[in-house]
Amino acid sequence: MDFDETALGGLIEESKDTHADALRGAKAPLQDMVELGREARAGRGVDADESRAFASENRRRLLSTAKRAGGLLGVTGVIAAIAEFIGSPAFAASATDVQVLQTASSIEVLAVSTYKTALGLPYIGGSSANPVIKTFATTTMQQHTDHLAAFQAATTSLGGTKQTKPDPAFVPVVDKAVASITKASPSSGALLVVGLALELENIAAETYVNNMSLLSNANAKKVTASIMGVEAQHVAVLNAVQALLKAGAAADITLPPPAAKLPAAAGSVGFPNAFYPTSQAAPATQGAMS
Amino acid sequence: MSANEPMHISEAELRGMTADLDAMHHDLALPALHDSLAEWAADIHQRSTGDQAEETAAQALFGRRRFLTRAGVVAGGAAGAAMLAACSSSSSSSSSSAAASASASGGTATAAAAMGGEGQSLSGDLRVVGMAASLENSGVATYQAGIAAATAGKLGTVPPAVVNFAETAMAQHEDHQKAWNAVLTSAGKKPVTAVDPVIQPTITTAFTKVTNVTGLAKLALMVENIAGETYQNGLSVITSPAGIKTAASIQPVEFQHAAILYFILGQYPVPSAFTAVTNARSATDYQT
């Protein structure tokens, strides 16, 4: 076979130019993807609309680049594949939904372990415990276990890896609180336990409320929506229990409550907001896996 | 302290705690909600500009019906109680019931309130909003009727904490109704001031049998669970992110009301790990 080295050199040069063009075309969206990832790791979360807009815009840009390159080179095939991927529903779901679900799982892991620790205290899970508080802690731990399983199942159904570790940002806070609780007397310890549980339940509820507008996948939305109201119910109960404990009225934590004995304001202490806030919501990707 | 000893908490202490939480609510939650509502309204307005001609024709067609409906419906105050009572008086002649006792103040037009919505054509997210507003109206009316019956001594002894619960829950349902209607009016629609046309007959019938706090709590529990489940279902239907934020901020509150009602009834306050949608009202139930 005869070679025209000059012509071949020209073709190689042309292919290099095409390759460079292709890489230049890919550079901007890839930088944007990296930036999205950095934002997620920085705890600022990922905006679902921004993610979708990014996918739509850059899919067109990448496909245009691949077309200009003539589809002759492997790199253009790769670009086209990336373009198809980020433009697909799977990207919208996996880029944000999986991370959001992993964060939710990490909160549930922490909640389960916290209630488990609390139930090890004699005045929460032992013989000296108030029966209502003991039942609540036991039942709530089981409900969080169920929530964890649901979030993990939703994660794997989207092709993600299920999160089994607690939210790293909250672990030091909980550890510090638990250390204080173990040194406290039963009466003040019970109040600290309820305060910690209330904090975690509010974070869970507010995070899930906040996550609803970030999720794209229908199943992820349904799972989250079916759980956030339950966390809010935990909050309502804990608000009421906390008020009674602070008032030195632990004996009035009964089921049914001694309604006739309670002051009027006790009727509404459980649900102070007409609209559930999100100021304490965890960043959507805080508990996501790298 | 034994269970029979008086509580060491004062009304002032509890009110102080509630005031702190309320301040947080107004500082943080409400501004965020206002942003969501404004964003949603703008989104809906943008989408609906093409439907204006069709809307005008529908409004003209249903104008008379809307007038009749609005004439007898909640305009604030005690109208909700009267409305519920009037509805109940048409379905039951029980003079011993709280509803029947309150029916004397009801107007004849209130029956029209239970017949349907406002008569305006709503579609997409706005249909969900219209249905939600009417559902909130039914919630407000239920609590108003209950409070009126309690005040009239028709429910026996009513603990102050239960009265406070009912007043606060009713006020929050009023806030929800205002939020939904703000979306409607921002989108150029009329506010929905009628009660829920589908669920109201059930509420009305049930209210005729309410003779004590337990009966009222059971009825309120049914309304709260339906509301919570409806918004939960709506989260899968609403398309606007701002609309999803709004529904998501209301759904947990309805379930919190339900938790306290379970407690009042002596039942476990968080009966399930997952809230359901089996009793949710469909957006298509909204009657135009």
A142: left (phi over 0), alpha (psi -120 to 50) or beta: alpha
Residue tagged 């307005």 (tokens): B45
What is the crossing angle of helices B241-264 and A186-211, to 10°? 150
Q: Which helix (H) or strand (E) holds A194?
A: helix A186-211
Alpha-carbon distance B246 to nearest alpha carbon in chain A (angstroms): 8
A125 to each of A118, A120, A230, B60, how far by Cα in Å?
Answer: 7, 6, 22, 65
For B:217-246, CB contacts with A below 8 A are: 228, 232, 235-236, 241-242, 244-245
Q: Nearest CA to CA, how far is B125 from chain A (Å)?
A: 14
Are A198 and A238 within 8 A, CB to CB? Answer: yes
Nearest Cα neighbor of A134 from A115, A147, A148 is: A115
The answer to whether the CB of B88 falls within 8 A of the CB of B204 is: yes
Give the confidence band of B171 by pLDDT, cuts at 50, 70, 90.
very high
**What is the pLDDT averaged over residues B6-10?**
46
Element (H, E) at A198: helix A186-211
∠ CA B228-A197-B28, nearest 5°, is: 60
Query: Given pLDDT bands bounded at 50, 70 and 90, which one contains residue B121?
Result: confident
Q: What are phi and psi of B107, to 5 degrees?
A: -100, 160
Instruction: Count Cβ–Cβ pairs < 8 Å, chain A vs chain B.
Output: 235
CA distances A16 to A73, A77, A81, B154, Å, are 10, 15, 20, 89
Q: How far apart are CA B173 and CA B181, in angstroms?
A: 12
Q: Does the beta-carbon distance from B8 to A266 stay under 8 Å?
A: no
A222-244: average pLDDT: 97
User: Residue B242's pLDDT is what?
Assistant: 85
Distance CA B262, CA B271 (A): 9
Q: What is the mean pLDDT of residues A256-277?
A: 94
Comparing CB atoms, the residue among B7, B168, B277 nearest residue A249 is B7
Put simply, the chain A residues between 241 and 280 with a CB less than 8 A from any chain B CB are: 243-244, 246-252, 254-279
Distance CA A60, CA B142 (A): 54
Q: What is the mean pLDDT of residues A167-179?
A: 96
Q: Read off φ and ψ for residue A129, nearest 5 degrees.
A: -75, 150
Tell me which amino acid residue A226 is: S
Q: Which candidate in A268, A278, A280 is best for mutational testing of the B interface (most B CBs within 10 A)?
A: A268
Most B-contacting residue of A207, A231, A276, A279 (CB-CB within 10 A), to test interface: A276
Inter-chain touch A273–B21, beta carbons under 8 Å: yes
Whether A271 sits inside 8 A of B171 (CB atoms) is no
Cβ distance of B21 and A226 shorter than 8 Å: no
Compare A241 and B65 and report the one with higher pLDDT: A241
Query: What residue of B is the nearest CA neighbor of A144?
Result: B273
DSSP annotation of B191 reads P
Specify the range with the lowest mean pLDDT, choosing from A103-117, B107-121, B225-239, B261-275: B107-121
Phi, psi of A42 (to 5 degrees): -75, -5
CA of A151: which chain B residue's CA is closest?
B274
Q: What's the CA gap between A104 and A288, in Å, rounded?
A: 9
Question: Using CB atoms, which residue from B172, B270, B274 is nearest to A226?
Answer: B274
Identify which of A260, A269, A277 has the shortest CB distance to residue B29. A277
Structure-token match 């108003």, residue found: B144
Question: Could you tell me which chain B residue has the CA closest to the CA of A235?
Answer: B256
Chain B hits for A271, CB-CB cut-off 8 Å, are 168-169, 172, 253, 256-257, 260
Per-residue b or e along A219-232, where b marks 16 or more CB atoms closer than 10 Å to that residue's CB: bbbbbbbbbbbbbb
Other Cβ atoms less than 10 A from the Cβ of B62: the count is: 18
Could you tell me the two tokens for B273? 């790990």
Structure tokens at B112: 């029209």
Residue B12's pLDDT band (cuts 50, 70, 90): low
Using an 8 Å Cβ cutoff, are A222 and B280 in contact?
no
pLDDT band at residue A35 using 50, 70 and 90 as cut-offs: very low
If one counts every other C-beta atom within 10 angstroms of the C-beta of residue B88, the result is 29
List the 73-132 stretch of A: residues with Cβ below 8 A of B. none
A248:B252 CB<8 A: no
Chain A residues within an 8 Å CB radius of B230 = none
pLDDT average, residue stretch B93-100: 30
Least confident of A219-228, B92-101, B276-285: B92-101
Structure tokens at A92: 């919208």
Using the predicted structure, report yes or no on whether residue B16 has a pLDDT greater than 90: no
Q: How far apart are CA A220 and CA A156, in angstroms?
A: 11
What pLDDT, on the 0 to 100 scale, is given for residue A150? 97
Task: State yes or no: pLDDT of A25 exceeds 90.
Answer: no
The chain B residue lying nearest A202, using CA atoms, is: B252
